[in-house]
Structure 1
Amino acid sequence: MICETCGLTVPSETAVCPRDGTVVLSSFQPTPPEPKVIVEHPGNEGIASTDPLIGLKLGEYELRSRIGVGGMGLVYDGIQPLIGKRVAVKVLRPELAHSSEQVARLLAEARAVNAIRHRGIIDIFGFGQLPDGRQYIVMEYLDGQPLDAILAEKGRLPVPEALSLLDEVLAALGAAHGAGVVHRDLKPSNIFLVRQPDGSRYVKLLDFGLAKRGEGPSGRTAQTRTDMVVGTPEYMAPEQARGQSVGPMTDLYAMGVVTFEIITGRLPFIGSSPVDLLMKHVEARPPRPSEFVSDLPPAVDAFILQMLTKDPETRPNSADALRQHLAKLRRTLRATRTNPTAPAPVEPA
């Protein structure tokens, strides 16, 4: 069996791709092997001397260092030598060079973000092929930190900061869904806080490699294969875990998980394995965030839990609608902080 995400041949008795964590539905069974996670940091010793791509010229850009690695590709820091423009270049892994499915996925990522064209979506402006046959895309270089790194440092964010960040994510998601694009893999590592020269930050959504194109802003689209679950188990909506059709509400569920995590410092569900996690997303009732943050207003509980309902039809019907609810919640919380004697906000009618 071939993993849909990275192209690795997976033994039929294996429930999880050992490279990237894609879950094989036909292997739903207890105690599957845990996925192996590959983590690489910029500046690792020996990379420059062993990576043949460092120093390579791709069109007008020169690759200077490797800055990331994933199940599908390697990411490099590139520069246009004459004008000093920095870019990020994602290159398919060598073993995927001749996988038409992975080449199509890389091209689909470039097409998806260019269909959206929003400040909160990473820009991809080049596509090409290495001398060894591998495809690559050229993206804008971002200076800042992914949200998962920030959470690793701080544990959790204050509610006002968390809700401000969520507002930016929902604006970008609304643009994506309006273009018929469902991300399918929203998580803190794919939410990047770009640092600006004045010290302020703004949000970019990354990695549309698993994105699906639907027929319109509210269109649902079938997953590519019914025997594979594509995404990250910790953030996966019940319908996605079941291998059913996905749509904008699938992304809203993932954002419910992310919002729960950034406000409480923990995930709503913790499992003994990826499959156990998926089953909890499908069957278990999510806890209230206030169980972990004692002074959290009931309205924040209600706002997060509406994203985590099992039935996608009972979630907010769009990112834009959820953003309107969020604006109302933020106004209410600001009023409460201004007037501490006012009654605590509750779930809006």
Structure 2
Amino acid sequence: MQLSQNYTWLLTDVLGRGSTGCVYHGRHRTTGAPSAIKVLSVDGMRRPPELQERESRVLAELDHPNIVRLLAVEEESVTRHRVVVMEVCSGGSLHSILNEPENAYGLSEDDFLQVLSDVVAGMNHLREKGIVHRDLKPGNIMRAFRADGKATYKLTDFDTARWLEDGEQFVSLCGTEEYLHPDMYARAVLRTSQPRAYHATVDLWSIGVTIYHVATGCLPFRPHAGPRRDQKLMHQITTRKPKGAISGVQEQANEKITWSDTLPSSCLLSECLKALLVPILASVLEADPGQCWSFDQFFAATKDLLQRELLHVYSLPQHTLHRVYYHAHDTWAQLQELLSGLTGVTPDLQLFFNEGRPLAATAAGAAAAARGHLPATTPHDPVVLASAGTGQAQAAAPRQIELHIPTFSRNTDMLQDVHTAQDAASAAIQIHRLSDRVAQEQVVARRAASWIRSKFEDETRTALQRLAEVKVRRDAAGDLLHKTRRLCTLATRQEQLTSAPCGVTEVEAAVRSACGRLEELEGRLMEVDASCAPGGDLSASWCQSVGFQPSDCSVERLAVLAKLSLDTLVQFDRDLQQRSE
């Protein structure tokens, strides 16, 4: 047990290790309140005093919910090593969260947006204070929990931070390889470039790599052998990246780099969010300072994204649930154009339903804010979009999700088996997650089809009522024609009457033709009415579609398989630890 003036900690209770010190889980000696105790290592103590004090001085100037809070600066009672006491973040680092099997393909959309919001807010506070972090990465972003149980993310580890005004430059090197700006990487890792000065915007490259990592579960730039085993190729990938590309991966040794300007299909983010996020990533992942965004541009773009309203929309023609992000001031017409781009259903053909009730905007309402016309939505209770047209809407892209399905080697290698078990557990969890989403969408589809069927049934019955009225008028017209014919027979100028432009013969022929069409229409409407009725063909085909059925228990079975995969991973990891001991 180690002590300082007001705090105590165990050397075995380690929260994290760094190049200059170690962080322990400690408590206040009087109140018992938990804290994070950072004790400088021998290497850390060898640094100049001003560098040893930098982190505490920086933290003392910062006061923000998304930056870890400084509690005290003390000395260890025996060694007199410097001790920095900070608030403890019990949720662990973002790096450890991303290493969990369920996050191997990135965080869920809600969690991702929470990370993005918190990190951007913390970075903005740093810029307001004229501070550059210089080591932004998932390992330096901690998760804490508020009193309501919700997670919040905080920037930490300000060992390398320094004050840097706009336009000012620095020459010292710091950071983590995979997240370093290419210019800093060349000098710090490859040691091939001459000393040069860097702007604070190098933090934007680091945050771009971090955002990509959080969204996808992997780094954007990856040589086949790994970023630390093939450092020259790693540098080539980042510096030769085509404009607009947000990732470059070498799939096999000695193969060309595969560039991409989109996020991978395995990413859990919705298509609408991807479309908003990709331009931001493309604009900060630029090695050329002249092409890279400024902090102001980055903050403006992320603010625009994070302040949007969320609308859950189920596209019945596509059988797809969309998360739609729109501005609160967008008009109904603008929202319709946005949905048209996502679904292919043009605004003039769009029909909206919620809980069985049609949603519509008047001509005046089309120019008003869409927000006033829309109910609160959830994935289980979305607005349903149908098409009034007879043609097919834009088909949704097939869900071809790229997953890494590993196979165990026949050779005994416990470490390799742990990695294989982790990949297998990650894939099993992802498959279960995707199947659960499909099953939920099918539930919404059946409900939506029921609503459409009810509307179709109501309109059909209305049409039959109007048809009955038309038939009454048709019978009256027939009776009038019959009387007119009798009068014409008695008339002395029957030929002139018959040959007149609106003569009885033409009228009688037109009525007979109309009667035939009415009879045909009535027959079709009766067929539609019968098919809409419970047990009818249309009702059965829409509301009892083939797919996941509750009786199949498909999703539950996949959940069991995912749990077994996790149990296997835990057992393999335990065996490896016992062997190493």
1: CA distance between counterparts of 2:297 and 2:216? 24
| Contact kept? 2:25, 2:34, Cα under 8 Å | yes
Matching of residues 246-261 of structure 1 within 5 Å = 246-261=198-213
Partner residue, 1:163: 113
Partner residue, 2:39: 91
The Cα shift of 1:177 comes to 1.6
Query: Which stretch shows the higher mean deviation, 200-209 or 58-67?
Result: 58-67
**Which amino acid is the alignment partner of residue 61 of structure 2?**
A
Partner residue, 1:236: 180
Matching of residues 308-319 of structure 1 within 5 Å = 308-318=285-295
The Cα shift of 1:173 comes to 0.4
1: CA distance between counterparts of 2:30 and 2:134? 38
Residue aligned with 1:198, SS: coil
Larger radius of gyration: 2
Partner residue, 2:61: 115
Aligned-CA RMSD value: 2.6
| Contact kept? 1:87, 1:139, Cα under 8 Å | yes
Partner residue, 1:343: 341
| Contact kept? 1:123, 1:140, Cα under 8 Å | yes
Equivalent residue in structure 1 for 2:240, among 283, 294, 299 = 283
Residue aligned with 2:201, SS: helix
Deviations 1:129-188 (A, max 9, x none): 333242221111222121112212212023453233212111110111221111111111
**Identity across matched positions, percent:** 24
**Which amino acid is the alignment partner of residue 339 of structure 2?**
T
**Which amino acid is the alignment partner of residue 6 of structure 2?**
E
Equivalent residue in structure 2 for 1:208, among 137, 150, 158 = 158
- Deviating above 6 A after TM superposition, structure 1's stretches of 4 or more consecutive aligned residues are none
**Which amino acid is the alignment partner of residue 75 of structure 2?**
Q
**Cα gap change, 1:329 to 1:126, in 2 (>3 Å):** closer
| Contact kept? 1:220, 1:245, Cα under 8 Å | no
Q: Any stretches of 5+ residues in structure 2 without a counterpart?
A: 188-195, 248-259, 312-321, 325-335, 344-581
2: CA distance between counterparts of 1:149 and 1:181? 26
2:123 paired with 1:151? no
> Which TM-score applies when normalising by structure 1?
0.72
The Cα shift of 1:291 comes to 5.0
Deviations 1:79-121 (A, max 9, x none): 1232112221111113543x133x4333111111222322211
Residue aligned with 2:86, SS: strand
The Cα shift of 1:75 comes to 1.3
Q: Any stretches of 5+ residues in structure 1 without a counterpart?
A: 1-54
| Contact kept? 1:186, 1:254, Cα under 8 Å | yes
Higher relative contact order (CA 8 A, sep 6+): 1
Residues paired across the two proteins, number: 282
2:325 paired with 1:325? no
**Which amino acid is the alignment partner of residue 115 of structure 1?**
E
Residue aligned with 1:314, SS: coil
Residue aligned with 1:290, SS: coil
**Which amino acid is the alignment partner of residue 121 of structure 1?**
I
**Cα gap change, 1:312 to 1:178, in 2 (>3 Å):** farther
**Which amino acid is the alignment partner of residue 265 of structure 2?**
V
**Between structures 1 and 2, the one with greater helix share:** 2
Partner residue, 1:191: 141
**Cα gap change, 1:173 to 1:166, in 2 (>3 Å):** same
1: CA distance between counterparts of 2:239 and 2:163? 24
> Which TM-score applies when normalising by structure 2?
0.45
| Contact kept? 1:212, 1:221, Cα under 8 Å | no
